[in-house]
Amino acid sequence: MLTRIDHIGIACHDLDATVEFYKATYGFEVFHTEVNEEQGVREAMLKINETSDGGASYLQLLEPTREDSAVGKWLAKNGEGVHHIAFGTADVDGDAADIRDKGVRVLYDEPRRGSMGSRITFLHPKDCHGVLTELVTSAPVESPEH
C-alpha cells in the first residue's frame, strides 16, 4: 500500500545553483547527496518533513551526468522542471506487481537501487495520465549505536 509522497524529482541543469535557490528561497537544507552512475545523475535530497510512517518527504534535485541518461534526454526535450513523483511503500515488489496486474506498465522487471539505498521502480507515464511515477521502499533506518 502506498503510504506517502516520498519525493518529487526536479530535473535541473546546474545542481549547485538549484540547491542554492531552494536554500535561499525556502530555507530547505540538503539531507543527502550522491552520484548514481547507473541512472547517470548527480542528485541532492532536500528533506521537507517527517511522515507518520517513519519516512520523510523530499525534493530530489537531479542533474544529469551524461546526455544519454534518462534525465539528460528528458531535460533536453522539456527543460528544467518536475520530472517525476514518487510514492513511498513498505513493499515495492508487491505494490509494483499489484499495479502491473491492473494494466499499468512497470518499467523495471526487478526494482533497482535508488537514492540512499532505497529500492525503486517506475510506472510508465502514458499509463499514469502523463506523470512518470516512481515507487520507493526506503532503506531500513539503522538505530544509532550507544
- The catalytically annotated residue of 39, 43, 63, 83 is 43
- The catalytically annotated residue of 39, 60, 63, 83 is 60
Read off the amino acid at residue 13: H
**Cell matching residue 74:** 528528458
- The catalytically annotated residue of 39, 63, 83, 84 is 84
43 is catalytic: yes
7 is catalytic: yes
60 is catalytic: yes
84 is catalytic: yes
- The catalytically annotated residue of 7, 39, 63, 83 is 7
**Cell matching residue 57:** 518527504
User: Quick count: other Cβ atoms within 10 Å of Cβ 62?
Assistant: 27
- The catalytically annotated residue of 39, 63, 83, 134 is 134
| Residues involved in catalysis | 7, 43, 60, 84, 134
